[in-house]
Amino acid sequence: MDEVEKYKAALVEVGRALNAHGVEYVLVGSAVLAIIYNIDYDPGDIDLFIYNKSTIIDYELFEKIARENEWDIGSTGHGTIYYELIVGGEIVRVDLLENILDIYIPQQIIENSIKIKIDNFEIKSIRLEDLIVLKAKMATKDSDDFINLVARMLTDPKLNLIIDKTYIKKIIDYFIDKESILNRLYKNGIYID
């Protein structure tokens, strides 16, 4: 099983379990690049943004889901939950995020999410444009490296990767620190104007 297939299988497995318990989520994080855009990229984990429950308030529910599926459960640095499951003989970590502390995903990004099917299972995901804006907002070395990688990928004609700059401008407007986000994108090779 190749890297991308491993993450897709983990996403479907966790997605089915969350759906069975009425948990609504959207794929966020760098796994979007591999899973949604079929780019050969190892994200290291999967990030799911939970938007109708709280992993903190509804902890027992998420613990029950882990028990039912025999997954390990732990806490992220933000106090939210992650699952670890075995897929193809390897451990895959799935972080369950929500708007807490410095994690903030505007409702408009959730509403603009796209839907794809993996093995006849429908998944909601943010778009690449949303992802690079969220990475720019994070303002870390890792997020800068990721934005720079995407900027290089955009110049590779074999990848046929395109971003909607008008949409990016619209998304940036949902954040207070617009100038900082724009500057970080420019600094890393994503030119909006």
97 close to 51: Cβ distance less than 8 angstroms: no
User: Which one-letter DSSP state was computed for residue 83?
Assistant: E
| pLDDT higher than threshold 60 for residue 101 | no
What is d(CA 52, CA 98) in angstroms, rounded to the nearest whole number?
9
116 close to 125: Cβ distance less than 8 angstroms: yes
Look at residues 40, 29, 34 and name the one whose alpha carbon lies nearest to residue 76. Answer: 29
Question: To the nearest whole number, what is the mean pLDDT of the chain?
Answer: 92
Question: What's the pLDDT tens digit per position in 126-171?
Answer: 999 999 999 999 878 999 999 999 999 999 999 989 999 999 999 9
Look at residues 125, 128, 97 and name the one whose alpha carbon lies nearest to residue 27. Answer: 125
Instruction: Give the model's confidence band at 124: pLDDT under 50 very low, under 70 low, under 90 confident, else very high.
Output: very high
Identity of the amino acid at 192: I
> What average pLDDT score do residues 16-36 get?
95
| pLDDT higher than threshold 70 for residue 181 | yes
pLDDT reported for residue 3 = 82
pLDDT reported for residue 106 = 83
Task: Please name each of the domains of the chain with its CATH number.
Answer: 1-126 (3.30.460.40), 127-193 (no CATH)
| pLDDT higher than threshold 80 for residue 115 | yes
